[in-house]
Structure 1
């Protein structure tokens, strides 16, 4: 039956799984990867395969009898990759592209098409027994058999099957031999080791007879002749490859049904026993064939260029692109088809075969005589269409381009690249192409390159960037700062499951890859060592580079191997002991946090997807008091929300009470919801305030799911993007809250165009004015008043193999702004790390950074030690960044990621580029979708959540802390107290009292860490500042520390530092104090007066009251924390 199908199709030990709807493909990917997680060594086996769901491919439509001389399906189709690569799906796709509704596969490598059954073809009387030959391109599939055709039906086009008739067909009876010849009987034969090694192509298959074959062999000077499979003729001077008498010669000749012409892997052999060979007629001038003299209607500019030798000395065809066979081919039809395909050379061979190209390759040369092209065209017997290994060539080129014989490029390489040789690759049937752990690499840690440098030679419109070794290596060398990728490049036409395996198509959005695709992969030298790959003879790497066909680019399961011999492109430090930091379990939790916010009362508020949480026993909100960790019940204060905050945004507002706002949600009315919480009380005792919400009084103008939010320089809140809710349509617009009088929403075409890959975009106020926005793989600067685009920035790089990778949800990375230091004259630097790619959804293993205000700036790429998607990144008080959590494969979403990344990485922007990352400690807890991480006032990092909602990974309620290296070893933290309040303007002076224990004021630093609300890898509001300061006086404190008084200068304006709250830290030889909350810039947007309804707390305007009654805390005792 016909299927309503959307998404990809996967197989599961013979079972097809179909997914429909907008997330069908994601569902399929999840189901398949889930199965793989249960069976790590699982591969598709048996009859399981991937195909076009509109073909009736779960079961065969019919197993049809077939005859060489009278085909059941009459169109012979030339398929991508040739007979040796045939799969059922390739045949189906080929037939569909040619406009046929029936596709049939036979004898392992033959594809036939039609719109009906002909010549008495019908279901075979022996059922499926005769269809017993595996497909050449996928041994798990069956591709017919000798005289048997496996037939597939597109959209159930055939209402019924032909019935088997009982009419008898006369069997061959003649077994004799012409005069001078002796029949040697039936011999065994195989494709790889022919009993007679020279095949004759000059006899049309449907004209094959014993006499025709024997005559062709004797005219060529051969004494041995053989006929096979009804229509094939072979010659030799001897019996080769241990040929021996055998059975199986039961097929009638296609041109004479009274004679036997071999069988499947069986050949009728004849020996010419006369003492002398018959003389070969000498061609005269009148008998020479000159096609151009008889063809008058060639396309303008096209002329005959002669008869050329094809496949000389075992090389490939002299024209690379073989169009589907056409029994009605003429010279004109072949030329016109080549013109349509964009080529200017056309070649006809063996009456039905049409080849196209823009140059003659493989050392093609003119035949010694034009008369060697002596096979009449299938559609016009008055025209000659080549012959056996002879090609009639036409072109509109004045002088036909003939390329030199290809070589492996090992000279004139750019940079410090060096050619190492032809390297063995893992064979496609040895790769675990099912399970995601294989990283879609042929070696551990390597990536399949199928995007930027994917070359498609099929006649479809797609990415057509042609490659050569100069281009590939040159691009790597020129762009070291942009793509400093690993140490080696591999080139191969068969990198990952030959780019044609059905298993691979499970993980790609475009299932039309074929064996002519060329890929580039990259990796580390250690990968080669680990896999035991070896160098073999260069003569085995014989696939041509698509951009320069005088160069070789690998081969089947072989790689042209180049190594970078210069300075390492990226270098990481692997920390141990205290230098690696440490994960510690903190407390169990009643909630899987969706949004985590550290309040100015030093408690952490958590929100979860209220109403859709699996346990369904939550209030939707809790507040964690770190001073009460030893008492689980006391540590967690239940709070309450009225609507579902699933995938909302959050901020700490600049009002005098430091309220928290939560924006948007899962579905109406949640999506328009605005929720407010005013932190109150002090650590050690439950606070009393709760979340306030009334969407009938205050809300967004349009509902938003997965929006972003940012405090603007004027103190208003910018809300960007999202979707309608619950996998709904895009909301490609911006709006301001509180809503200015008469203001509406602003439509953004760039958000509409990039949906659904632009959710939770990254937003930054720029020091020079304007708003930076990064979404999917694009970025631009907006006018801060009109919100219109001022400047479009270069696209964000993704994977070196796939420029279509993204950085925002659902290809979720995580972003930061590099620390800004007084006097704040250096350009601002934005950095995003991790993300994912479409198709196989391999996570990105790099960070990219840009200075958007700098004219002509482009992205800088730094490789990470491992891949990450749905990760978190936390700014630390010392100016470094902690990268943690996430997965190494997949997308953000329930059940859409696997291979958890347990490793923490420290990024230090003060170190040289490409040397900034250090590998730290590991956790044992999987932190996947809905993981969060936030900086605590004491300098530790709170790590929470994982909400995959599948059976592979745990719903994670445990709360951890990561202790950065600066707090390891029992180091004593400096003490800081605010002495002149906690509310400051721009270019204002903060006075602090400091006690140092490890250094002096000369090594001391002060940092400001802005308030953060974190969700989905987006830490809203996160910024790091290093203000200028000076200290006076020095004395010894009671505890032995050095006491001093310092003054700190606040940033100069709202573009450098947006109005709002921050924690001030003092760093004593790198060890941070506890952060002290303060506000800078006031409340210029008058957020404190909004929303003005009786059921909401209004902070009002004016100075801060002291942050919940705790004006200056100094070093609080952890009390067992």
Structure 2
């Protein structure tokens, strides 16, 4: 069904409009609005396929339609006689209905609506071609029904009110009880509603161009859509995607690959296989350097029957800087599973080497329905095996339906900072309880489907490892019309009375992701200035790099960098490489890859180009001022304040040195899971000497640096040398 827009006014005085989609049954020939994907509108208001079918001889690989010389499908063949919108032969409704874009061999030529989804239960898988879509409220009239028994309320839940519900008496616009600004603010249905506008007070604040804005360069192709990414201990990037009907590379069995290993030295990729659908999964690194990927979505057996159900999937990928023979090895899936199904789960590496895995959808259906959601956490041990217990986190309960892909960071006292929707807390995993409730962050929603970006600023020995988190961007609701939020909040969660210090980016931005740099600054890249996460729900791509200097005074922290020419919308990633540049890849806003913009509703397409952004510290003359000949005395470091030495060559006029210990983590949906940086203590710097030998004091404990793979960067006068992987134990 094609959607158009209706404005819903909430029952409050002076409240801003919130816009949600509803069904438009006819199309408009002048605008094309109203037709399904794969169709165009005729002058009489009916929709027909835009595909050109020549009924050419069927291909042996089961591909068909426009992109394959108009090839038809053999109804007696192994695949099926219907050519899908995406050019794949089959016999399901996804292939055969004109309503779903069928190109030829269609069994139903009428333009009909897709079949309704099944009633949601824990066991029922969702439509794994789709994304979780937050349904519009059916009404925002004040609810006057009976008191809730499960924390749901409002028009969609029998008119229930919250009454004395322990978590709060405000019924949110989406039908959940609570007391946060997301519940009691704009759209509140009943209870002690404040009905304050969601829109932030801060507007975008213009910022000057950086003196050295840096530059972009396209260096290669990703092989697969880069939905997920991580930098492996061999210095290569791994890209991970969902099951698709097209990628740039195939496996030895003739199927498309959904994962690829990318070498930033040669800018080439190789195909990797997995066995369960990794669609919108989470991840982090185990203590031995193995990348762990968890959760996912249901199988698409009509498309690829070699890939199974990923809702509880656990995948392992091992690489080593010392053993090149395992480069190119596939994902390992020995059969371990999560305790509960998780689609859109977040991960955080813990001090004892275990893995904290939180949140996720149970079935991929409407997250405004309580039974679809999994607001719990489970612990996987240091080998990536679950404890077998899923435990509720009240913050995720109250954040619904904005509970998926929560922001999580390990704090230096061993507790976790957890953020979802607009709310956050300090959480004790050992105690299984909230240690401290933190103030709500002013502004719009910050997590899926209006994700902003989060970084924990570098921890330093100089300030006794005091943590500060920065959250920027977000949006108001899940629709292409949603404004994005330019505001940022900065806070020390462990302060006695923490408060958000508010700032603003130079522009509105959603799906913006922050990457820590070894000079202590933060790059904010990718995303859109309008819309939300979900297929074809974003427009106005944000092309400019934003540079944040946390050491500068409030109001002077932002400068702007170079601009890319490539939109990086939904499903984009950014990774800091060993050489100190930033790799940027991805953007796949379609249910299945679209290689031509004319077939995308917003004119965007699946992006396979890989770019490298060169930051200011490597621009101009800075590139010649790198420290070189870097030699570490050890590649294994205990987190116990033990020391090691680093020898290197510096410019003769260099003034100072810093050593950054960096863990890039796992990147997806603008969330950088487990990303952290620590500036270590140093001694022995000799001003004016080209040959340097410094003594470095390692992290004091695994709360500051949980075990796993890190990169050590020697930074002289703000310019980093090429990094080297080191294992922290």
| TM-score using structure 1 length | 0.45
Among 340, 348, 363, the alignment partner of 1:702 is 340
How many angstroms apart in 2 are the aligned matches of 1:776 and 1:605?
29
**Does structure 1 residue 714 correspond to structure 2 residue 352?**
yes
Any idea what SS the aligned residue of 1:583 has?
Answer: strand
Displacement of 1:846 in angstroms is: 1.3
After superposition, residues 437-586 of structure 1 pair within 5 angstroms as: 485-486=202-203, 572-575=207-210, 579-586=212-219
Deviations 1:208-232 (A, max 9, x none): xxxxxxxxxxxxxxxxxxxxxxxxx
Displacement of 1:853 in angstroms is: 0.9
Residue-pair matches, total: 541
* Aligned position for 2:581: 940
Displacement of 1:689 in angstroms is: 2.5
Distance 1:585 1:741, change over 3 A: closer
Among 852, 855, 859, the alignment partner of 2:500 is 859
Distance 1:676 1:740, change over 3 A: closer
**Does structure 1 residue 825 correspond to structure 2 residue 476?**
no
CA RMSD after TM alignment: 3.9
Contact 2:184–2:194 (CA under 8 A) maintained in structure 1: yes
* Aligned position for 1:692: 332
Contact 2:460–2:466 (CA under 8 A) maintained in structure 1: no
Contact 2:547–2:560 (CA under 8 A) maintained in structure 1: yes
Contact 1:871–1:931 (CA under 8 A) maintained in structure 2: no
Any idea what SS the aligned residue of 1:844 has?
Answer: coil
Contact 2:222–2:262 (CA under 8 A) maintained in structure 1: no
Deviations 1:164-219 (A, max 9, x none): xxxxxxxxxxxxxxxxxxxxxxxxxxxxxxxxxxxxxxxxxxxxxxxxxxxxxxxx
Among 374, 381, 384, the alignment partner of 1:731 is 374
Among 281, 285, 297, the alignment partner of 1:666 is 297
Any idea what SS the aligned residue of 1:574 has?
Answer: coil
How many angstroms apart in 2 are the aligned matches of 1:920 and 1:914?
17
* Aligned position for 1:927: 568
Contact 1:733–1:751 (CA under 8 A) maintained in structure 2: yes
Displacement of 1:683 in angstroms is: 11
After superposition, residues 57-96 of structure 1 pair within 5 angstroms as: none
* Aligned position for 2:392: 747
* Aligned position for 1:495: none
**Does structure 1 residue 591 correspond to structure 2 residue 224?**
yes
After superposition, residues 118-267 of structure 1 pair within 5 angstroms as: none
* Aligned position for 1:436: none
How many angstroms apart in 2 are the aligned matches of 1:1022 and 1:643?
26
Among 434, 459, 467, the alignment partner of 1:789 is 434
Does 970-979 or 933-942 show the bigger shift?
A: 970-979
Among 759, 762, 774, the alignment partner of 2:404 is 759
Contact 1:665–1:725 (CA under 8 A) maintained in structure 2: no
How many angstroms apart in 2 are the aligned matches of 1:692 and 1:461?
50
Contact 1:484–1:861 (CA under 8 A) maintained in structure 2: no
How many angstroms apart in 2 are the aligned matches of 1:610 and 1:37?
30
Any idea what SS the aligned residue of 2:618 has?
Answer: helix
Distance 1:683 1:626, change over 3 A: farther
* Aligned position for 2:679: 1026
Any idea what SS the aligned residue of 2:365 has?
Answer: coil
Displacement of 1:784 in angstroms is: 2.7
Displacement of 1:1056 in angstroms is: 2.0
Q: Which has the higher helix share?
A: 1
Deviations 1:449-483 (A, max 9, x none): x9999799xxx96997599xxxx9xxx9xxxxxx7
* Aligned position for 1:676: 316
Distance 1:742 1:890, change over 3 A: closer
Any idea what SS the aligned residue of 2:649 has?
Answer: strand
Contact 1:673–1:699 (CA under 8 A) maintained in structure 2: yes
**Does structure 1 residue 904 correspond to structure 2 residue 535?**
no
How many angstroms apart in 1 are the aligned matches of 2:637 and 2:558?
35
Contact 1:977–1:992 (CA under 8 A) maintained in structure 2: yes
How many angstroms apart in 1 are the aligned matches of 2:292 and 2:385?
18
Any idea what SS the aligned residue of 1:719 has?
Answer: strand
Displacement of 1:660 in angstroms is: 0.9
Deviations 1:558-595 (A, max 9, x none): xxxxxxxxxxxx5622235xx11111111123211111
How many angstroms apart in 1 are the aligned matches of 2:692 and 2:29?
60
Displacement of 1:755 in angstroms is: 2.4
**Does structure 1 residue 1010 correspond to structure 2 residue 666?**
no
* Aligned position for 1:951: 601
* Aligned position for 1:882: 523
Distance 1:1030 1:571, change over 3 A: farther
**Does structure 1 residue 644 correspond to structure 2 residue 277?**
yes
5+ residue gaps in structure 1? 1-5, 12-23, 40-47, 49-92, 98-449, 477-482, 487-522, 524-569, 630-634, 799-804, 1037-1041, 1083-1121
How many angstroms apart in 2 are the aligned matches of 1:604 and 1:876?
17
Among 735, 747, 772, the alignment partner of 2:417 is 772
Deviations 1:136-191 (A, max 9, x none): xxxxxxxxxxxxxxxxxxxxxxxxxxxxxxxxxxxxxxxxxxxxxxxxxxxxxxxx
Contact 1:625–1:684 (CA under 8 A) maintained in structure 2: no
Distance 1:979 1:924, change over 3 A: closer
Displacement of 1:682 in angstroms is: 7.1
Distance 1:455 1:27, change over 3 A: closer
Contact 2:535–2:589 (CA under 8 A) maintained in structure 1: yes
Contact 1:978–1:990 (CA under 8 A) maintained in structure 2: no
How many angstroms apart in 1 are the aligned matches of 2:386 and 2:711?
34
| TM-score using structure 2 length | 0.68
Deviations 1:348-379 (A, max 9, x none): xxxxxxxxxxxxxxxxxxxxxxxxxxxxxxxx
Does 738-747 or 941-950 show the bigger shift?
A: 738-747
Displacement of 1:871 in angstroms is: 1.8
* Aligned position for 1:513: none
**Does structure 1 residue 841 correspond to structure 2 residue 482?**
yes
Deviations 1:697-749 (A, max 9, x none): x1101111000011112211010000014336111111000388975110234
Contact 1:611–1:644 (CA under 8 A) maintained in structure 2: no
Displacement of 1:963 in angstroms is: 0.6
- Structure with the bigger RCO (C-alpha within 8 Å, sep 6+) is 2
Contact 1:733–1:748 (CA under 8 A) maintained in structure 2: yes
Contact 1:943–1:960 (CA under 8 A) maintained in structure 2: yes
Deviations 1:439-458 (A, max 9, x none): xxxxxxxxxxx9999799xx
* Aligned position for 1:809: 448
Among 261, 264, 272, the alignment partner of 1:623 is 261
Among 705, 708, 714, the alignment partner of 1:1060 is 708
Any idea what SS the aligned residue of 2:508 has?
Answer: strand
* Aligned position for 1:977: 630
How many angstroms apart in 2 are the aligned matches of 1:782 and 1:854?
14
Distance 1:731 1:35, change over 3 A: farther
* Aligned position for 1:872: 513
Whose radius of gyration is greater, 1 or 2? Answer: 1
How many angstroms apart in 2 are the aligned matches of 1:918 and 1:715?
38
5+ residue gaps in structure 2? 7-18, 35-44, 46-138, 144-181, 300-308, 367-371, 591-599
Any idea what SS the aligned residue of 1:768 has?
Answer: coil
Any idea what SS the aligned residue of 1:622 has?
Answer: strand
How many angstroms apart in 2 are the aligned matches of 1:981 and 1:730?
46
Displacement of 1:25 in angstroms is: 4.7
After superposition, residues 301-340 of structure 1 pair within 5 angstroms as: none
Contact 1:875–1:881 (CA under 8 A) maintained in structure 2: yes
* Aligned position for 2:695: 1047
Deviations 1:284-326 (A, max 9, x none): xxxxxxxxxxxxxxxxxxxxxxxxxxxxxxxxxxxxxxxxxxx
Any idea what SS the aligned residue of 1:580 has?
Answer: coil
